[in-house]
Copies of this chain bind each other. A is one copy, B any other.
Amino acid sequence: MKVKNILLFLLTAAGAPLSSGFGQGADGPADLVDRADSSAALVDSPADLADPLIDTRSPRWDYLKSATLPFGMVALSPDTKHGNLWKAGYRYDDPYILNFSHVHNMQTAGIPVMPVTGPCRGNEGIEANKSRFSHEKEVVKPGYHKLFLEDDQITAELTATCRVGMHRYTFPATGQAHLLFDLGAALGPTEMSYAYARQTGKNEIEGYVVNAPTYRRPKPYVIHFVARFSKPFDAFFGWKNGVFAEPEAGIISGEGSGVYVTYKNLKEDEQILLKVAISYVSPGNARLNLETELPHWNFEQVVAEARKAWNDYLGRIRVEGGTKQQQIKFYTDLMHTAGKRISSDVDGSYADYTGPFPVIRGVPADSSGKPVRPFMEGDGLWGTHWNLNILWSLVYPEYGNWMAETFLDYYRNAGTMARCSWGGNYSYVMVGDHITPLLAALVSTGRNSFDPELAWSAARKNAFPGGIRDRAGYESGPNPSGGGIDWYIDLGYVPMEIAERGKGLHRGGAGMTLEYAYQDWCLAGMGRIIGKETDVALLMKRSENWRNLFDPETGWMRPRDLSGEWTEPFSPVFDKQHPTPDGFIEGNAAIYTFYVPQDMEGLIGASGGKKAFADKLNASFLKAQPYNFFSPDGNHRTGWVNYKNQPSCAMAHLFSYAGEPWKTQYWVREVKERAFGGTDPYSGYNGDEDQGQMGALGVLMAMGIFDIHGCVGEKPALEITSPLFDRTVITFPSVEDPSHMNTFEINVKRKNRDDIYIQKATLNGQRWDRFQFPVSQFFKGGKLEIELGKTPNYKWGIP
């Protein structure tokens, strides 16, 4: 089998521009084997393919998915680095395990556990209790993590339910072993300003930590926990500020404090199991979560159930064909799309931090009292119209609605939709109003389970002064002005002077203008569906504001100042000799010039017609190709195309609109493989997967469907690109009856692996020559069959 695979790989790799562009780890011998073709059957257990270790060299704090479920509240995993949101958490090349902690969200962290043997040194801090480990003895799968702590000779295994982390520690024979809870330690992006723990039973402790405020989360945040041990411990003790402290009335509390439990005289291979449930509401709810989700001590059962949960999630899309590595990457991508996190308890309670005090609220419940959906926590949705929104609308509508309802909860609770839900509160991450495109997508596709009238009110508010577009990125506090919506309305664009107004980050007037115009169009689309014609006309007019920044002389989007003048000097990409003023958001004119999904016809016209437009775009891709479609130097202002950040993410798909769908077929595949093809710890997402966004983009590119409009509009349609796999079977809840599942299948015929150009297609047996097909056809279910060839069919797909 091994020999055969190697041979297959060699055959495959021979002719391949597609096999280049992988990260450095792709050349190892293990890779040689795996890169071979997969077996000719639909993937049976996708959870076994998804690889949490991909691109873990330098990830975000919240990146690793090991002992966690899809959207799991608990994300239990080993940490090797603290101190930041970026380049923290589990980093593949770090030599030491510092602890196993339960909360890995963008701006929150908590409840670290570390098993040690010998005299307790918990008081000396996390660094003093770290242990070496090696990847040889490590197993990492969605829902399971196992490794060997060499210094203490302890095998650590982790798994989880949604809200409970489960640990199994296998000890050497030892006179004393301790499980340390360093509750005062700084973890990932946050310090702990206060900790509290008390013994609540012979085998239980409970407590909470207060996450100190961060720049991005201006309020403290409380995480409650209940930890239950499989065996009564022999002692419960603690420390404060580095000094051991005896619990008073069983309690240790205050800044810089930690606790530990001690077991004496453990036998060789004796196992201690630990369950840690969390809640953002109360210790009682942490206990409720524990007792509801994990009443037993069967570790293997939890692992199996976690695997099943991941298989259920990933199995909505089953693929056949492609290389093993492509399958691995596909399911790893898909795994990351489940990266937002539930933050409500089993009873639907959640903590609302929008006011001066946390307020415990509850999501709606059904007639039996069961919450109908959770409240969510996660990074902002800036850019998700080109990835998650599409995937949620098509395949995972319940999770898209979870997000939508969470933002509507912010509207219901505090009067304005957030850009993001961190620590139960607004964070204003990035700019504009990212939520309206999601609401509009779900309404446009008939997927919304929320009240569209409420969504309209909430989204409309955000389109005018008094809403979220008053604010720049991270502009919190009263009297915001860094969003420039007033200027946008008055002038038809946000001028360069926005950089000097308000507070916060990301104040690029031209970028804001282009995003606002798309968001206006999304709102208009939603409004049209639910009969808000007056507003629709106004918003459609506003959606043309991109024209105010299109400089006909240079042919690029160009920032303007308050007086209407174009900024000088100007270059579509940052030019060191003539440094152009910034005016965009993690992008530049070269990229944002193509940010007009709502009016491709207008943009193409302004650009001199289809040919000129496609040539200009093609030139950009050619210039970006050597850098795998990232910026040459990591600076987001220097790339002609930059798939590291969201503004680029539709660019490869635009050729189809300019009459050259074969170029979309080519560049989408190039981007997919060069930018996102890596499957080792050093590549895959260029270091920032962006909490499901790059994963979702990869999934869409692999399936060969996309929509530059983000599935918004009266009759949304999907763009067809060249599928990666021979067969892709997509199972999704029916629009009419979400409890019933429909199936849409995408089949490919090709002679060679490198055949990427669409020759012809049929939709449910009927010839299909357009590059788009209606989302409604997708929802009906059926088959899209595509024949791929080595060279373009210049006639297919031309509208």
Interfacial residues, chain A to chain B (CB-CB below 8 A): 193-194, 196, 198, 208, 210, 220, 222, 224, 248-251, 253, 281-285, 349, 355-362, 411-416, 457-458, 461, 466
Contacts and interface: CB of A to CB of B under 8 A. Distances in A.
A194 B414 CA distance: 14
In the complex, the 4 A-B pairs of residues with the closest C-beta atoms, listed nearest first: A282-B360, A249-B415, A248-B415, A284-B362
Contacts of A411: 249
Contact of A349 (B196, B249, B284, B356): B284
A356 B212 CA distance: 12
A284 B281 CA distance: 13
A210 B249 contact: no
Given A282-B359, A282-B360, 5 more contacts: A249-B415, A253-B414, A253-B415, A283-B359, A360-B360
Contacts of A458: 249
A210 B358 contact: no
Contact of A416 (B220, B249, B282, B358): B249
Contacts of A251: 413-415
Given A248-B466, A458-B249, A461-B249, A222 B361 contact: no
Contacts of A349: 282, 284
Contacts of A457: 249
Contacts of A412: 198, 249-250
A343 to B, nearest CB: 16
Nearest to A349: B284
Nearest to A252: B415
Contacts of A413: 198, 251
Contacts of A284: 349, 360-362
Nearest to A287: B362
Nearest to A194: B356
Nearest to A224: B359
Given A249-B458, A284-B349, A208 B415 contact: no
Contacts of A249: 411-412, 415-416, 457-458, 461
Nearest to A411: B249
Contacts of A253: 355, 414-415
21 contacts: A193-B356, A194-B355, A194-B356, A194-B357, A196-B355, A208-B359, A210-B357, A220-B357, A248-B416, A248-B461, A248-B466, A249-B411, A250-B412, A251-B415, A253-B355, A253-B415, A282-B360, A282-B362, A283-B361, A284-B362, A360-B360
A357 B415 contact: no
Contacts of A248: 415-416, 461, 466
A650 to B, nearest CB: 32
Nearest to A279: B360
Copies assembled: 2
A478 to B, nearest CB: 10
A222 B281 CA distance: 15
Contact of A358 (B196, B358, B466): B358
A194 B354 CA distance: 13
A452 to B, nearest CB: 15
A355 B415 CA distance: 29
Nearest to A282: B360
A65 B197 CA distance: 40
Contact of A361 (B194, B282, B362, B414): B282
Contacts of A355: 194, 196, 208, 253
Nearest to A247: B415
Nearest to A355: B196
A461 B193 CA distance: 27
Contacts of A362: 282, 284
A746 B248 CA distance: 47
A249 B415 CA distance: 5
A193 B357 CA distance: 11
A285 B360 CA distance: 9
B466 A356 contact: no
A282 B359 CA distance: 6
Contacts of A283: 359-361
A244 to B, nearest CB: 17
A292 to B, nearest CB: 13
Contacts of A222: 357, 359
Contacts of A193: 356
A355 B183 CA distance: 15
A210 B357 CA distance: 8
A3 to B, nearest CB: 62
Nearest to A249: B415
A219 to B, nearest CB: 10
Contacts of A415: 248-249, 251, 253
A281 B357 CA distance: 11
Nearest to A253: B355
A349 B349 CA distance: 13
A280 to B, nearest CB: 11
Nearest to A356: B194
B414 A356 contact: no
Contacts of A358: 357-358
A726 to B, nearest CB: 50
Nearest to A284: B362
A285 to B, nearest CB: 8
Contacts of A281: 360
A416 to B, nearest CB: 7
A210 to B, nearest CB: 6
A404 to B, nearest CB: 16
A282 B280 CA distance: 14
A356 to B, nearest CB: 5
